[in-house]
Amino acid sequence: MKPLNKKGSDLTPDVQFDPQSSTLSIKGKSLPMNEADFFGELMHWLESYSKAPNDQTTMEIDLKYLNGKTIRSLLQVLKQFQQLSANGKNVHVQWSIPENAEDIAELSRDILSGLQMPHEIRMN
């Protein structure tokens, strides 16, 4: 399976999904004009990866800003990731929060506690 590498812009995050390193990384700002297209590609990659995942996979989220549409789409990505855990794979989410962004910290706590999979929330 090929890695998915998307260079970010002012409106979209950098995305690196690499099956060799077992790391899925989403970093930057997320305000895509068409979130269905942007996150659809991520979901398609993750669905393919889920057919033959590594025993351990880490998702790194480091978003400085995200809008409501991104939150819904990110939740769908995380639910797909949670399915790996439900299928017996070791998964871990590392969500880095910008300093003084209590709204994002609260959002990440709410989302991750509802999904019940191993996670870590760090202020950076």
Closest Cα to residue 16, out of 48, 69, 60? 60
Element (H, E) at 10: none
Total count of residues recorded for the chain = 124
What is the residue whose two structure tokens read 């690196």? 16
Query: How confident is the model over 29-69, as pLDDT tens digits?
Result: 999 989 889 999 999 999 999 999 999 999 999 999 999 89
Q: What is the mean pLDDT of the chain?
A: 93
Query: How confident is the model over 16-27, as pLDDT tens digits?
Result: 999 999 999 999
Banded pLDDT at 78 (limits 50, 70, 90): very high
pTM beyond 0.85: the answer is yes
In angstroms, the Cα distances linking 61 to 51, 52, 83, 85, 88 are 22, 22, 18, 17, 22
CATH of the domain at 90: 3.30.750
Domain housing 31: 4-123
Q: How many domains does the chain have?
A: 1
